[in-house]
Structures are given as structure tokens and as C-alpha cells.
Structure 1
């Protein structure tokens, strides 16, 4: 039985695509779990980030990255591991290891370890000759808030240093960075980053359904969403296509509106 086809839905560009990216967070699943998951969801996953240093402890990380490659999913090393390696003077060893393992992308961040902006951009330049570089803007500590100008300036400078994409910090909790402590989107911060680098170059970390829906309603199905849980890949795609009440206006005829 093939996929259902009786609805008229928005056309989503096929992979590899430059917008409408879904960036997922892997907290340490096995290669077999990754393969089983992607057997049904690979068309909807663009970037797979191994978070929390799990890749460093995983003896089968090369096997998992091979699974991702087989499904045309980019593999990204999470930024905290590189931050810790940098703090220990082992950044080059970390990049060499990631290259040998088979990562296609590397995240460069400074949300955990005190790091000057110049040092961050030097890491970007060192990584860019081997990887697609994704940078992260925003602190993980809610007590360390950027000013609006700092959000835009850092995002713009990251791009100038060689970052292909800039990730706007939200963490897995969705309560820091571009969100307040209740998980509400800080619209002024979002606007500042978009103005600085352009919508297609930003990945908004949006772990909560209400946050994902807000971005789809604000910017449309082609918005880039990050830190999506592995069990919510299809759920996020339904939001993009208007198959859920939260964004149903995307798929309803123009003469109809969803009930609120």
C-alpha cells in the first residue's frame, strides 16, 4: 500500500532543500533505532544532531552516521562537545575525530563554556574546510540574556565567519534563548535575528508543539525548525502541511477558516 494521496496539500521541496529544514535532536539512540525510524520518516528529516556528547561515548557512531548517509540525512555533531574540547585545548582533535567518524556538519557554539566571539569565529573557520558549519546564538543559562543588538550582531558575524546556518537557542526545554521562562516566543528577538541574516539561514530551536505551530503560522511551512524530538518528526510535518488544527488554515480552501 502506497502513501495516501486524496488530499490537496502544499508542495514541499524534496531533499536536499535549502528551506523548510527539520533539524532533529538525537539523545543517543542506536543505529538500529535510527534505521527503523528513518525507514518511515527520512523524507522529512534534513539534519540529525547528536546531542549532549553522546557521540563521544557511542562505539557505533560511525555505523549510525552511515545509516543517516544512506537516507540522505545530514549528520551534525552537537556544539557542547566541541566547546568542552576547545576548553581542554583539544578542538583540533575533536574536529579530526568527527571527520573520521563521518559527520557532515559541525555545530560551533559558546553557550556552555566561556568563549570570546573571536575564538568562536576562529573555530568556525577551522571547521569550515571539512564540514558544513552550523553556529548557535544565545546562552543556555537564562540568567545570561543577550541584548537585541547582541543577538543580531553575533548571528551576522557568524555568517561572515563562514557559518552556513545559524541556530537560535531554545534548548530541549524551550524556556531559554528565544523563549521566556514559560516557553513563549520572544518575538523581538526572532525579528532581530531574521533581520540580521535572513529567514532561510536561521534554524529556530522549537521543541514544543505550540512553538513549532507559532513559527509555521508566522513564517509559513518553509521555516527551519530545530531540536525536534525523534518521535515528533511526522508531527512537525503535519504542522507544516496544515494537517493539525494548530495550522489547518494552511490546507483549508480559501473560503473556509478553522474553528478556534
Structure 2
């Protein structure tokens, strides 16, 4: 037990890295290199993607060191979608990719939630990113709380992003968890979720879920291996306990398994 931890409870199965499901995608809001090192030392096994939010990568003083640290811990560094949108606005997409290559990013997020980037142009950028060897996270949804795009429009865009070459599809929730996938009060838009989980893109979606209640809801609805994004660094262990049914919000995940085991 000392080597790998206790094993006397029956818990939901949890995949190990490199994962193709159950991704934990964290949001770096501008943390110091020391803070990143300490989180990775403790929890790297639970973290798959590390997004440097918004445009923080552009001004991060220790960018090269942070990216190298992430890669050393088998955590994929990713740029924020807003940075690429700004580059597009200024006609500097090629320069953005040169920067991302120089810095050692493995992933880029391609979004259009902050600008009027046309969908066709988004797809062109996805294809360009793929041709340069980047793993693409294509985000769908606006950062404007008043822009309630229909579920059908979301699904159409997600599926077309997948066709353009995106590896993962991100359902917008922002850092606040009050836009996109959620209403202004942080409640999940069930009609939208119903549409997403029944689409052919379902297995590739990363649901931004910064609030614990949102994480728990999605885990209860979609299981312990749902992909969750925009997780705060302080919440990494908390999310892992939710995934494993070790917290009151998701205790049923483990209980259901225990009932099944006893029945057999």
C-alpha cells in the first residue's frame, strides 16, 4: 500500500497518462515558475493540458523555462485562444505560429469568441496549425453572455472544426463559468449539453467547468472520464477526488460500482 496508495475501496476506473479520455485541462492565469513547479511536482499525474490563459504567454517572463518544465512533466503546454485571435486581427498569424514553435508549445487553442473571425478563417487556421505539427483545441462559444447561440449551431461548428483537423473541441465556459455552456447564474444549459453529447463530436469535447458544482454535474451526467477544462490550479486535487467518487458531490459514482460488485 505504501508504494501506490490504498486500494480497499471500489472506485470508478481512472485512466493514466497519456490519456485519450478524462483529460484535466488547467488554466494558468499568470502563475510564477515556482508555483507551476510546485503544482507539477505534486499533481502532474493528474494534469494533461496546461493552458496559458488569454495572452499571458506573450508577456510571461519565464516562458521558455515554464514550457520546458511542463514538457518534462509530460503535461502539454497550450496557448490561449485570445492570443491567436489578436494575432489574426493584426494580420500576424504566421508570426504567432513562429512564436509558438520557438517557445515549444505542443498545442494551440483556436477560437473566435472575442472577435468576428469568420468560421472559414478559423478552419484555415486550424489546418495551418496542424500542418505545422500543433495539436489543436478548437473552441466554440462566445465570451459575450448575451450571445446565446443555439445548440444546433454549436454542434455544427464543433463537427466542422473536427473535420478541419482539430484534435479536441472546447465548449466555452470562461474562467467565470457564466457564459457559453452556462447561463448567467452558472447553471448548465441542459438543452445544449443534450445536443453536444449526441453529436458525432461528443468524444472529443472538453467542457470548460471552472466551478465545483459544474464539475460535479458533468461527472454525474457523463461519468468519471469526461474531459474538463479551465480548472484552477488549486482545484486539481479536488477535481480528482470528484472523478473518483471521493467527495460528497459525486459519492454515487463509487457507490454505484460498489453495488454492482456486491451483486456479483
TM range (shorter): over 0.9
Aligned-partner Cα distance in 2 for 1:232–1:26: 12
Aligned to 1:251: 254
1:108 to partner: Cα distance: 0.2
Aligned-partner Cα distance in 2 for 1:17–1:6: 21
Match status 1:183 vs 2:192: no
Q: Encode CA deviations 1:47-102: one digit per residue, 9 max, x unaligned.
A: 00000211100121110011111110011101000000000000110111011100
Match status 1:104 vs 2:109: no
CA contact (8 A) 1:121 1:161 kept: yes
Aligned to 1:91: 93
RCO higher in structure (CA 8 A, sep ≥6)? 2
Structure 2, unmatched stretches of 5+, are none
Aligned to 1:7: 8
CA contact (8 A) 1:78 1:107 kept: yes
Match status 1:197 vs 2:200: yes
Structure 1, unmatched stretches of 5+, are 256-260
2:199 partner SS? helix
Aligned-partner Cα distance in 1 for 2:51–2:203: 19
Q: Encode CA deviations 1:23-51: one digit per residue, 9 max, x unaligned.
A: 00000112221111111101100000000
Aligned-partner Cα distance in 1 for 2:16–2:102: 29
Alignment of 1:133-148 (within 5 A): 133-148=136-151
1:199 to partner: Cα distance: 3.0
2:58 aligns with one of 56, 59, 63: 56
CA contact (8 A) 1:170 1:205 kept: yes
Aligned-partner Cα distance in 1 for 2:30–2:3: 31
Alignment of 1:118-157 (within 5 A): 118-129=120-131, 130-157=133-160
Aligned to 1:258: none
Q: Encode CA deviations 1:167-207: one digit per residue, 9 max, x unaligned.
A: 00000111110101111100111122222234320000000
CA contact (8 A) 1:152 1:195 kept: no
2:30 aligns with one of 28, 50, 73: 28
Cα RMSD over matched residues?
Answer: 1.4
What's the TM-score once normalised by structure 1's chain length?
A: 0.95
2:137 partner SS? strand
CA contact (8 A) 1:61 1:101 kept: yes
**How many corresponding residue pairs?**
256
Aligned-partner Cα distance in 2 for 1:238–1:125: 37
Aligned to 1:72: 74
What's the TM-score once normalised by structure 2's chain length?
A: 0.94
CA contact (8 A) 1:107 1:135 kept: yes
